[in-house]
Structure 1
Amino acid sequence: MSRFALKMLGIAGVFGVFAACSATKGGDNSFGGSETTSSDGTSQGGHGAAGGDSGEGGIAIETGSGGGGSQPPCIDTPGVDDDGDGFADPEDCNDCDPNVNPAAMEVMTAEGADPVDEDCDGEIDNIAGTCDENLLVEDPDPMSAVRALDICRNAQGPRDWGLLGAAWVRANGTPLTAPTNQYGIQPNFGPNVSPRGGDRMLAISSGRARLPGQTGACTTESCNGHGLGTAPSGFPQSVTGCPVGSSINDDVGLQVHMRAPSNATGLRFNFRFYSFEYPEFVCMSYNDQFIALMNPAPAGAANGNISFDSMGNPVSVNVAFFDVCEGCPLGIADLLGTGFDTLDDAGATGWLATTAPVKGGQEVSLRFAIWDTGDQQYDSTALIDNFEWIATGGTVPVGTTPEPQ
């Protein structure tokens, strides 16, 4: 039976959120496909870490271990790497603290703490700004998409932290070379949704990553894209009590390869998910999905995916965070002017935050991807923004939580 027939019969319309998923956690996901490197090779300013108000593109918010306060006494032997961070003095400006060296990121000093020059550049709390102003919606360069995520610093050597490469891909990592309007760099998403960091945010869609009135915008709830795709291992991910489709269509993604600062303990980014499938097609085999595959996958990831709710549900219309719709806690204001407000019933999440642990100096890849499940109808769009390294110490969990709206 077609989706249209199902909708007319009212078979769907299940509004509940379903607990638990059957996906195996802690799995790995290989990242296929090529990556492009920065064309200019310049080192641009980094962006903030989680934990509070970062100010204008701040790299971190509070002092982490080694990020402030007095340091324990140690013996600083000239020319010897006393703290074991890979750097010896005079290159290391504090060889008694492994969180201070030229490969570290600057951490904003907490109130009452002693200021520290974490990156040994001779300046304290020199936090760089963002880098996504004046980007065009239709810009096809994956490096521009990375800037829209507020990833601004390019790694300048084998020990330096920052961006190592980026590429447009299909969901399984296969390179995507043809221009497409399934991704776009947006200054807003309607009048009520603004970027969480900087001036722009990235939109990826199983339909069109365009707003009404923009060139290439979709004028129905379903616009075909790249057609049949190959899902990453373990996907589409099932939700307990719901059927799951076996095929994906119109998949598109951005893969980003980075090296973490030597004092980083985690990463963080914001996203939202919009879908025409809500509420008619909740808990059906057609449910589109958004994923953020991390490699190497941290413990607790679901098939490598780090964006899921507390019950392990993948990001789809079954996720626990669907709060934007008629009668939902956040109402319909964030649907206005997006195209999801006029064409059909639709819903969305509010802003969400995904975090995951990393090791200092670790190379990591993130693949953000979205697709239609089971058919090419009733498209979905994800907004992604405000990537940050976390260098405030402590243990960083893997998973997703709602943000203050």
Structure 2
Amino acid sequence: DPNADSDGDGFTPAAGDCNDADANVNPGAIEVEVTEPDASGHIPAPADEDCDGAIDNVAPPCDDGLSLEDFDPANGARAIDLCAFASRDDRRWGVLSARYIRGDGSPAARSPAIGLFDGFGPNVRAQGGARLLALSTGRARLPDHPDACRSESCSSYGPGAAPPGFPQDNPDCPPSDFINDDIGLEVVLRAPQNATGYEFLFKFYTYEYPEWVCEDFNDQFVALATPAPPGSYNGNLSFDGEGRPVSVNIAFFDVCDGCPLGSSELVGTGFSPRRDGGTRWLKTRAPVRGGEEISLRFILFDTGDDRFDSTALIDGFRWIATGGTVSVETTPAVDPR
């Protein structure tokens, strides 16, 4: 029966389901190119998961040609490799909306606190596609850009209102309850029908290292998911094994003079290789249900004062549709390049 949904995935053969015996194959699925062997040691046969008539036609990058100063939030989404867009009126997966926001979700005015880079200095490259998104509590610019800050502190937005539950207290450090220069990207997404999770990459830099470690004005980067998945902290997905938010106090802070990864990734960024620091590329994963609509807000804010700016790089968003259970976790990433 072409109008029967035998596999219960919400699509019938008449609606384009090309395999009504497999709920992971339908027009609302994402194409999966499997190159790794399964538990039995075999690489599964290629399949047309999205029923478009082509096998393993994984979508190409979509962020080539974007300019540094581009302030279209849809292009901010593209810069982190969210290339598919959908609408409330269709059943496709992808970005339903994108906005640049302040910490409380209100609209953010145009400013150089946002930048789309092909790399951050000579030693840090985009992790997927041609661009990455940079958010800064000062200016998301390199020293040779005309509107660069050229100092440790350049306020863009002034006092702000933090998301509920933030700034997150670090049990070992003095608390603070107000923020400044908060900036973020909010994307509302519909997950592919065959997705079980998603992941993204990020990297954090700050002028607060090493003088201001564990103070009440340590900047924080959060990745807030709504609905909040199990294992998140007030919806925040990105934190270390001790539950500490992304800041100068995170366990992964290992790019600096004398740190495990050295200071080469600070060269040419405006952050000093001799006295500032940051993290390596980190990967956050979180679960999702197939077809679920979620909101993700990537937000950076200065805690306690408006001095000693920080920058967060975000890139490499990817849906996970290869089966298995996905849990909220942040781990060191492997450079795909």
TM-score (norm 1): 0.79
Q: What SS is found at the alignment partner of 1:322?
A: coil
Q: Which residue of 2 aligns with 1:166?
A: 98
Is the aligned partner of 1:287 residue 2:212? no
Is the aligned partner of 1:354 residue 2:279? no
Higher relative contact order (CA 8 A, sep 6+): 1
Following superposition, the deviation at residue 357 of structure 1 comes to: 0.2
- Whether the 8 Å contact between 1:291 and 1:369 is mirrored in structure 2 is yes
Q: Which residue of 2 aligns with 1:96?
A: 21
| Alpha-carbon distance between aligned partners in 2 of 1:85 and 1:404, rounded to the nearest angstrom | 34
Q: Which residue of 2 aligns with 1:396?
A: 326
| Alpha-carbon distance between aligned partners in 2 of 1:404 and 1:269, rounded to the nearest angstrom | 12
Following superposition, the deviation at residue 201 of structure 1 comes to: 0.3
| Alpha-carbon distance between aligned partners in 1 of 2:323 and 2:34, rounded to the nearest angstrom | 13
Q: What SS is found at the alignment partner of 1:134?
A: coil
Task: Render the CA deviation track for 1:191-249: whole Å, top value 9, x for unaligned.
Answer: 00001001110000001100011121111101111100001111110111211211100
Which structure 2 residue ranges, 5 or more long, are not aligned? 38-42
Task: Render the CA deviation track for 1:132-176: whole Å, top value 9, x for unaligned.
Answer: 111110011111111101111111543110110101100111111
Among candidates 80, 84, 91, match of residue 8 of structure 2: 84
| Alpha-carbon distance between aligned partners in 2 of 1:201 and 1:115, rounded to the nearest angstrom | 30
| Alpha-carbon distance between aligned partners in 2 of 1:215 and 1:397, rounded to the nearest angstrom | 43
Among candidates 220, 228, 238, match of residue 297 of structure 1: 228
Matches within 5 A, 1:4-403: 77-90=1-14, 91-110=16-35, 112-155=43-86, 157-176=89-108, 178-341=109-272, 345-403=275-333
Following superposition, the deviation at residue 397 of structure 1 comes to: 1.1
| Alpha-carbon distance between aligned partners in 2 of 1:307 and 1:248, rounded to the nearest angstrom | 19
Q: What SS is found at the alignment partner of 2:75?
A: helix
Letter in 2 for 1:251: D
- Whether the 8 Å contact between 1:244 and 1:287 is mirrored in structure 2 is no
Structure ID, larger Rg: 1
| Alpha-carbon distance between aligned partners in 1 of 2:198 and 2:34, rounded to the nearest angstrom | 19
TM-score (norm 2): 0.95
Following superposition, the deviation at residue 121 of structure 1 comes to: 0.8
Q: What SS is found at the alignment partner of 2:254?
A: strand
Q: Which residue of 2 aligns with 1:65?
A: none
Aligned residues: 327
Following superposition, the deviation at residue 179 of structure 1 comes to: 1.4
| Alpha-carbon distance between aligned partners in 1 of 2:260 and 2:45, rounded to the nearest angstrom | 43
Pairwise CA RMSD: 1.2
Q: What SS is found at the alignment partner of 1:271?
A: strand
- Whether the 8 Å contact between 1:109 and 1:116 is mirrored in structure 2 is no
Which structure 1 residue ranges, 5 or more long, are not aligned? 1-76
Q: What SS is found at the alignment partner of 2:214?
A: coil
Letter in 1 for 2:122: P
Following superposition, the deviation at residue 399 of structure 1 comes to: 2.1
- Whether the 8 Å contact between 1:205 and 1:380 is mirrored in structure 2 is yes
